[in-house]
Structure 1
Amino acid sequence: MSFIKRIRLGNCAASLPISSLSNRKLSSLGLWQQDICTEIKVKIEKHWSRTVLNNINKDSDKAYYILPMFPYPSGNLHMGHVRVYSISDTIARFHALNGEDVIHPIGWDAFGLPAENAAIERNIAPHKWTNANINSMKQQLLQLGLNFDWSREISTCEPQYYKWTQYIFLKLFEKGMVYQSKAKVNWDPVDKTVLADEQVDDSGHSWRSGAKVESKILTQWFIKTTKYAKKLYDGLNSEYLENWKDIINLQKHWIGECDGIVVSFTMKVGNKVKQFDVWTHEPYRFIHGKFLTMSKNNIIIQEIPIEDTGHLLCYNPITNTELPIYITDEVNYPIGRDVYIASPATNQDDLKLAKSLNISVSKSDKVIDFESDNHKVISIANNKNVGGYFVNSKLKDWLISRQRYWGTPIPIIHCDNCGAVPVPYTELPVKLPCIEFSEYGSQTLTKLNDWVNCKCPKCHSDAKRETDTMDTFVDSSWYYYRFLDPQNEIKPFDKEKLCNKVPVNIYIGGKEHAVLHLYYARFMSYFLHSLGWTPTEEPFKKLLVQGMVMGQSYKLKSSGKYLPPESVEKIGKEYKEKKSGEPVIVQWEKMSKSKYNGENPERLLSKYGCDTTRLLILADVPPATNRNWSDATLPGVLNWQHRLWITIRDFLNYRNNTSLENNLSDEEFMKLESKIWESKNYFIATSTYHFKHTQKLSVGISRLQGLTNTLRNNLPCELISKSQEFEKALACLIIMLAPVMPHFCSELWAGFLSAPNRKSATTNNVINWNKNVFEQKWPKVDDSYKLSFLCKVDGADRCDLKIRATELDNLSQEQALRMMLNQESVSNRIKNEISRTKYELYPGCRAILHIFTKKQQKKPKNETKELAANIQAN
């Protein structure tokens, strides 16, 4: 039964039988005459979930690798997870629409102290707790419509993964890059494990347990990352790196300027030979040095009886001689070091030091060639493998020992006869023993005798396994390569699987990981490249560092005690605790249960649906900026979805209304179409620029809001009914929004395809009527559209030309410079000689020419004009 319903649309009214609207493709729910609401959104998400989660990408040479940092499986997603994975999924879908074969994997950083402690609290084994959390979080990620390639899924706690972590450890051991040594460490007395310096707060308390950290001397395992310090420092200027911005400075600050070298000396203490490093920024000292000084706090010195410290000798491998060691703290040791090599013959301060220590120094008239001796020292040290590499005095090697159960076992066996013996490759993985929780009382492997006791692989005598496990940073230092070959049972990964896929095109994660994790991952990539395993040294091309999601917290001004929001009221401009009336401080802080300022993603998903949740987290604020979370953004987002919904409703109604009269003249029609064409191209260019090049997704999204406004700007119904440009613009809008709201846009697209009287041809990469929205091509500007060509002189905008897209996309740097120097607004601003230029071409979006001048050299105007003329002539 059909009936007539009158619908007010824009500035027109149309009468049409609703039954005619039900004649649509099966893929659409056909609910256009209902107002959009959460119930309909949930139906849409359920209806389109299979399409949205269908990974259609293939493993080809056109791969584009997008990698978000994999999560620790805590059991529930938090808003930081929602943000990072919404960002990566949006970028992945964008690149898929651009015809690239996207690799977008996911896995689990599953080992570590938090999981172990949580398992202890719940009286279950860590592997059971971890696997349950993985299953729970996987369902939540699927619920968000995140299109990960689950065929590449890895978990660091599975033997088929950590077997290869152990394999890489043994390769490091073979190359002399792993050693065991005593070290002064931060010891957490509650969690009973070593902590990195970064895991201790300013007041000396543990980041996790809150206990006061103790200083202990323990025998620990180290990876010699300092050997690669100079390469890692210099690599930060690599052509591979894009958009690293301030992360380069963070990395350089952590590594430090590599202004000195290290040489390993040895000394005999009792029946043992001790090895220690000597650092200096003047390598020639290793030839001309006459004695060493050590601080009383040096670990080796603390092990020696005080009566034996007066006649210590060490072996200098550069000169093959013995040097005396003097114990004193009256020396300005290099920062981070407690050993100093003195050269009285070349340094007056060292001569004074020798006199203060009553050391006789013989004079030498020999002329010293410092530069030659520097090179000689480095050459000898490298040839003997006793150092010779450049490093900052403060940088230390990577301490990887952890005294807990839940981690990758270190594949070393300790034998009284043979010392530290590597586990044979054929016996990998060294699996964690499966234990019941009731047996797991010590929280370490030391008391599991059946597992610890073994035979030495060399002499077959009784021996013991290493009971320390590896720092979880080791697991995550190479996972980005395993994702490309996750099923390999012969080796960690095949180099052929990496070709044309690395470095990772875009690496996405929190800024809190931009120092240590990034440093360790870069080191591991450089080491694996040195083995010939990888095609490049740098693992990541472009970084997208996301800011934190912040919540509004409330705490008493008097005590700093945090309060739940419901116990606080606002009186005038001040906040008070309801119960006591005490003043309350309101501020934005990192979300935390203890601060009562968290947001549960489950609430948002159930109340608004996953597409709205994704749009909420992506809109308004660029990814790199902290996100102050509140529901204040909701009205704008919900209103936009409503406007998109009724835009399709309008489109369908008018395309179905064959009796609609045309009251527009041809001139008016063409003028309106021209405005839509101009607007469509502008928003395609600017949205593409931000989605592809700046990754400021919020700005790209705001441009799509602008295109929505164009299509909702009281356009005549006759235009909507018949305009090809309106149709193209609407198609472009839906396609460009699909990466952000995949389910919602799938339904919008299905409705769009069901409209009769379609005008658009399948040209200019806009519409393919036989495919869903994810099989379309990302829109491109029309060839004749004029794009922005901006010129900056010494950082200031000076000229913005409009150039046809086809011409701009083919404009060379030389042509661009000539064109801009012909503009008075540019040439008149060039007062000094041009020192360099930088040309940034973003095809289909814009171009920017940077001109930099030599500010220190003042040249007459005629010389500047002559320079410009010469450049133009050439």
Structure 2
Amino acid sequence: MSSSGMPQDKFIDNDVRHKIEESWKEKILKRPKQNENNEKYYVLSMFPYPSGSLHMGHVRVYAISDAISRFHRMNGKNVIHPMGWDAFGLPAENAAIERNIDPSEWTQKNITNMKEQLKRMGCDFDWQRELTTCDKNYYKWTQELFLKLYKKNLTYQNESYVNWDPIDKTVLADEQVDTNGRSWRSGAKVEKKLLKQWFIKTTLYAKSLYDGLDDPILKNWRDIIKIQKNWIGKCDGTTIDFELICDINEKPKKLTLWTDKPEFIEHIKFLAVSRDNFLSKVKINDFTNIQEKYLDANVINPFTGDVIPIYYSKNIKYPKMRDNYLGIPGVNESDAEFCDLVGIKYDKLDELTQEETVKQRHEVMEEAKMKNIGGHLVSSRLRDWLISRQRYWGTPIPIIHCDNCGAVPVPSDQLPVELPVMSSSNNKIPNLREATDWLKTKCPECGNDATREADTMDTFVDSSWYFMRYIDSNNDNEMFSVDKSFKYLPVDLYIGGKEHAALHLYYARFINHFLHSENLLPTREPFRQLLVQGMVMGKSYCDKESGKYLKQDEVELTDDNKYVNKNTGMPVLTNWEKMSKSKYNGVDPMEMFDEYGADTTRLIMLADVAPTSSRNWSNETFPGVFNWQNRLWMTIGTFLTLRNKMTKQDIDNISLRQDELKEDNEYLFESRNYYIKGVTSHLTMSQQFNAAISKMQGFTNAIRRKNKLLLTHSRDLERALATQIIMLAPIAPQFASELWAGFCSAPYHLANDDPFIQLDKDVLEQSWPALDMDYKMNVDIMISGNQIATLKIPRKILETLSADDVAKMATETPEFCDKIKNRTIDGFRYEKLPGFDGKIFFQSTDLNAKKKKAVL
């Protein structure tokens, strides 16, 4: 009998699955105490917006992070695996408005529900580290982060034309407007509006952020590096602030303009703007036949005081993501042609040497920095981060406006600036400008009456540093302990969706670079490795004629294997698409848990498809996992049944049967080590759970294909069974716990001396299986990319050898000597990683081969 009270020699069904999980659901959530002196491993999954319910995308990302967390803990690591809630922002506020309740009430209810669902899923998050961005104990430190930036002149308030969402009634950063000029959330056509807003000078770190993408600390970022580099752009120019002079009533005082020729800043002769620039829209109504047009507007060159005329032009090639262009005709032929056309006088300039260019560029940019008008290397496509939002549900910006003192930061000892309680009734969007009592305050510097800043911060500020707070989330005195940051950061593995590979990742990297420059963090890059999981796709059905999406029960499959609308008989198009309620192709995770159990759902999610690939969710893939569960279940059941039938005399005579089992035991010894090596490699290097599960399924088959006498007489079979269950535990902790309880309940064991099998502890307390010291490991000998031989060296010997020792052994093989006869070996690089097979690469001089890294 197992711990769930079910005989294990029967097939496993959904009823058994539920009884297993009922028995183990609380036990698997008890996190064993970790040794804080052990090597740390920080696995982080992107924290969710508390919508109220998990979706299948959540199941995938948290199944991955939970399995990795458990795997590394079984390997003796001091694992950090936290969870929190990205709780501020428009979705919660809009939902609360629709329901006439307070956003905090709506948010907390959703958090409670989702937290229970994550526990139902069996996730071992460290809830002692839990944080919620709308909690004053969190956003107090978001405000402190703002003040740190403010003190370093990295935040500023500026009046400029911004992107206004007319539906959500708030400003959007440039990054939150799509290529069609629509809001990323509401889909509304964005309008331009002149407002005084708060910005963070992310462009000051553009070069650092760009160069950081080549940091050797980064692992498996793949195409995300390309996405980030494209977002930041090559830093081949700089921005300079120019005073704007024109008779427009609503205009900013200055324009921030980009140029890739700052060394010629004194020779600028005109500013051209495109049709998208606010100046051209104000001054010209008819663009039909206009080529170049002076706009009766100018900017002042801050280096010379020269008045620079502004023209509208269709013919200028504008820099990427810019609607303006600074013309320097003395060094640019097309600029000269433009000046000739509109009658601007200019002088031809002598070409500078490279040394002169570098020197003058440096001098100009340094002067701009001194004047606080720009001068930092940046691409044309990058802008400063606009963080002001005109909505209620967000972190208040800790600034006080005083008629005498101007904008004054709230002193740190007066944080947090708490959000006032405001009603969202009558479908009305609350606004802090209406909180008149809250707005009234005293100036911290002069004591006069003053007014609080009424804008809140972009929620990306909240999520730009949450991974830092996790390491010290209960610290009431500072954002986090510097000692803990140097101990636990950077994050070792960050798991999340590709949709966050640009914005969120860019902002998080910026904040990390900044705090690293302040000596608060150990590395400038926040995340060593990224795992960008693919989407979970559902099968959709769309009426070909109407274009309307149909529910699955509204379609049927014809004899010729085509789908049609049941009601009309018209053809139906099928496709795999991102799960969506509107497309009727979503799957409720709780329904999966209710039918098959959480562990089985996790296994289905992780099997067959690599985590980085899209997952087509179909019940056609379920039988593979069901069959494997049955094979494991039946194997343990048979193991128990046979052992329970053994008499004392049978047990005493076990040693007499070993000779006839020698060949089988050797096979099991080899299989156990082979599959440990394969599963461990897939989980350690690339988190390829599908490949690891496939290996484990092969291991199960290897165990089952031998004769039943092994189940009662073989120490190697017992070790193989234990290894199989232990390796399953991180992925399906409840099912593995049940199998382990059955395994341990056998009346006798032959592998009591194995240090990796502790029968008095649950499976999640076991150590991850290690390769046997007598197992012969493969070392492939490669010359110029061709494998010529393989050394087989027992692990206990291999771990004592130096790189030179193994390389010498390779050079003494007949295959090697034949290959390089009459040739010389130029050299090699070699690195040893005990516990894994590897390769030795040699560079042959006459083949002009590229030197490679030898990994053992």
TM (normalized to structure 1)? 0.88
CA separation of 1:126/1:827 partners in 2, compared to 1, >3 Å: closer, same or farther? farther
Matched residue, 1:79? 56
**Partner secondary structure for residue 707 of structure 1:** helix
Code of the aligned partner of 2:256? D
> 1:308-355 deviations in whole A, cap 9, x for unaligned?
964735142xx4544533334253332223444444444444444433
CA separation of 1:766/1:685 partners in 2, compared to 1, >3 Å: closer, same or farther? same
Report the Cα offset of residue 134 of structure 1. 0.2
Task: Find out whether 1:728 has 2:719 as its counterpart.
Answer: yes
**Partner secondary structure for residue 83 of structure 2:** strand
Matched residue, 1:8? none
Report the Cα offset of residue 198 of structure 1. 5.5
Q: How far apart in 1 are the matches of 2:693 and 2:642?
A: 27
Task: Find out whether 1:616 has 2:642 as its counterpart.
Answer: no
Matched residue, 1:581? 569
Task: Say whether the 8 Å CA contact 2:181–2:189 is kept in structure 1.
Answer: yes
> 1:816-860 deviations in whole A, cap 9, x for unaligned?
66666777589969999999977675532322456789xxxxx86
CA separation of 1:372/1:210 partners in 2, compared to 1, >3 Å: closer, same or farther? closer
Q: How far apart in 1 are the matches of 2:419 and 2:131?
A: 18
CA separation of 1:835/1:614 partners in 2, compared to 1, >3 Å: closer, same or farther? farther
**Partner secondary structure for residue 471 of structure 2:** coil
Tell which deviates more after alignment, 485-494 or 414-423: 414-423
Task: Find out whether 1:669 has 2:632 as its counterpart.
Answer: no
Equivalent position to 1:599, from 587, 592, 598: 587
1:225-264 correspondence runs (5 A): 225-264=202-241
Task: Find out whether 1:357 has 2:342 as its counterpart.
Answer: yes
CA separation of 1:230/1:155 partners in 2, compared to 1, >3 Å: closer, same or farther? same
Q: How far apart in 2 are the matches of 1:402 and 1:719?
A: 69
Equivalent position to 1:511, from 489, 493, 498: 498
> 1:104-136 deviations in whole A, cap 9, x for unaligned?
000000111111111112221111010000000
Report the Cα offset of residue 393 of structure 1. 0.6
Task: Find out whether 1:103 has 2:94 as its counterpart.
Answer: no
CA separation of 1:804/1:263 partners in 2, compared to 1, >3 Å: closer, same or farther? farther
Matched residue, 1:19? none
CA separation of 1:810/1:555 partners in 2, compared to 1, >3 Å: closer, same or farther? farther
Report the Cα offset of residue 453 of structure 1. 3.4
Equivalent position to 2:624, from 633, 636, 639: 636
Report the Cα offset of residue 712 of structure 1. 1.1
Matched residue, 1:43? 19
**Ranges in structure 1 where 5+ consecutive residues have no aligned partner:** 1-21, 854-858
Task: Find out whether 1:845 has 2:836 as its counterpart.
Answer: yes
Matched residue, 2:527? 540
Report the Cα offset of residue 693 of structure 1. 1.1
Report the Cα offset of residue 563 of structure 1. 0.3
Task: Find out whether 1:789 has 2:774 as its counterpart.
Answer: no
Code of the aligned partner of 1:656? N
Report the Cα offset of residue 365 of structure 1. 7.4
Q: How far apart in 2 are the matches of 1:833 and 1:175?
A: 59
1:166-245 correspondence runs (5 A): 166-196=143-173, 199-200=176-177, 204-245=181-222
Task: Find out whether 1:265 has 2:250 as its counterpart.
Answer: no
1:552-567 correspondence runs (5 A): 552-567=539-554
Report the Cα offset of residue 213 of structure 1. 3.8
Code of the aligned partner of 2:511? M
Task: Find out whether 1:762 has 2:762 as its counterpart.
Answer: no
> 1:421-443 deviations in whole A, cap 9, x for unaligned?
32222222121111233377233
**Partner secondary structure for residue 25 of structure 2:** helix
Report the Cα offset of residue 579 of structure 1. 0.4
**Ranges in structure 2 where 5+ consecutive residues have no aligned partner:** 286-292
Equivalent position to 1:55, from 8, 31, 36: 31
Q: How far apart in 2 are the matches of 1:170 and 1:795?
A: 55
Code of the aligned partner of 1:314? I
> 1:476-505 deviations in whole A, cap 9, x for unaligned?
000000001111112211111112211101
CA separation of 1:677/1:367 partners in 2, compared to 1, >3 Å: closer, same or farther? closer
CA separation of 1:227/1:301 partners in 2, compared to 1, >3 Å: closer, same or farther? farther
CA separation of 1:305/1:450 partners in 2, compared to 1, >3 Å: closer, same or farther? farther
Task: Find out whether 1:283 has 2:262 as its counterpart.
Answer: yes
Q: How far apart in 2 are the matches of 1:204 and 1:558?
A: 30
Q: How far apart in 2 are the matches of 1:830 and 1:208?
A: 68
CA separation of 1:41/1:283 partners in 2, compared to 1, >3 Å: closer, same or farther? same
Report the Cα offset of residue 654 of structure 1. 2.2
Q: How far apart in 2 are the matches of 1:442 and 1:137?
A: 26
Task: Say whether the 8 Å CA contact 2:330–2:349 is kept in structure 1.
Answer: yes
Code of the aligned partner of 2:311? I
**Partner secondary structure for residue 531 of structure 2:** strand
Task: Find out whether 1:705 has 2:697 as its counterpart.
Answer: yes
Tell which deviates more after alignment, 335-344 or 170-179: 335-344
Matched residue, 2:94? 117
Q: How far apart in 2 are the matches of 1:596 and 1:223?
A: 41
Tell which deviates more after alignment, 276-285 or 450-459: 450-459
CA separation of 1:308/1:339 partners in 2, compared to 1, >3 Å: closer, same or farther? closer
Tell which deviates more after alignment, 834-843 or 372-381: 834-843
Task: Find out whether 1:456 has 2:443 as its counterpart.
Answer: yes
**Partner secondary structure for residue 119 of structure 2:** helix
> 1:159-209 deviations in whole A, cap 9, x for unaligned?
110111111112212222122334444433222223455655565554443
Task: Say whether the 8 Å CA contact 2:73–2:79 is kept in structure 1.
Answer: yes
Q: How far apart in 1 are the matches of 2:530 and 2:524?
A: 16
> 1:43-71 deviations in whole A, cap 9, x for unaligned?
22222223200112437243211111111
CA separation of 1:144/1:454 partners in 2, compared to 1, >3 Å: closer, same or farther? same
Code of the aligned partner of 2:236? D
Report the Cα offset of residue 588 of structure 1. 0.3
Q: How far apart in 1 are the matches of 2:820 and 2:540?
A: 50
Report the Cα offset of residue 675 of structure 1. 0.5
CA separation of 1:303/1:569 partners in 2, compared to 1, >3 Å: closer, same or farther? closer
Q: How far apart in 2 are the matches of 1:586 and 1:366?
A: 63
Q: How far apart in 1 are the matches of 2:750 and 2:821?
A: 51
**Partner secondary structure for residue 507 of structure 1:** strand
Equivalent position to 2:768, from 778, 799, 804: 778
**Partner secondary structure for residue 528 of structure 2:** strand
**Partner secondary structure for residue 190 of structure 1:** coil
Equivalent position to 2:253, from 265, 270, 274: 274
CA separation of 1:664/1:496 partners in 2, compared to 1, >3 Å: closer, same or farther? same
Q: How far apart in 2 are the matches of 1:150 and 1:367?
A: 62
Q: How far apart in 2 are the matches of 1:565 and 1:267?
A: 60
Code of the aligned partner of 1:603? E
Task: Find out whether 1:376 has 2:376 as its counterpart.
Answer: no
Task: Say whether the 8 Å CA contact 1:77–1:140 is kept in structure 2.
Answer: yes
Task: Say whether the 8 Å CA contact 1:183–1:299 is kept in structure 2.
Answer: no
**Partner secondary structure for residue 689 of structure 1:** helix
Task: Say whether the 8 Å CA contact 2:270–2:328 is kept in structure 1.
Answer: yes
Matched residue, 1:625? 613
Q: How far apart in 2 are the matches of 1:669 and 1:808?
A: 29
Q: How far apart in 2 are the matches of 1:457 and 1:795?
A: 69
Report the Cα offset of residue 412 of structure 1. 2.2
Q: How far apart in 2 are the matches of 1:545 and 1:491?
A: 32
Tell which deviates more after alignment, 689-698 or 182-191: 182-191
Task: Find out whether 1:752 has 2:743 as its counterpart.
Answer: yes
Matched residue, 2:322? 337
Tell which deviates more after alignment, 495-504 or 349-358: 349-358
1:494-505 correspondence runs (5 A): 494-505=481-492
CA separation of 1:800/1:739 partners in 2, compared to 1, >3 Å: closer, same or farther? same
Q: How far apart in 2 are the matches of 1:51 and 1:621?
A: 30
Task: Say whether the 8 Å CA contact 1:28–1:750 is kept in structure 2.
Answer: no
Report the Cα offset of residue 696 of structure 1. 0.1
Report the Cα offset of residue 736 of structure 1. 0.6
Task: Say whether the 8 Å CA contact 2:9–2:641 is kept in structure 1.
Answer: no
Root-mean-square deviation (CA, aligned residues, Å) is 3.4
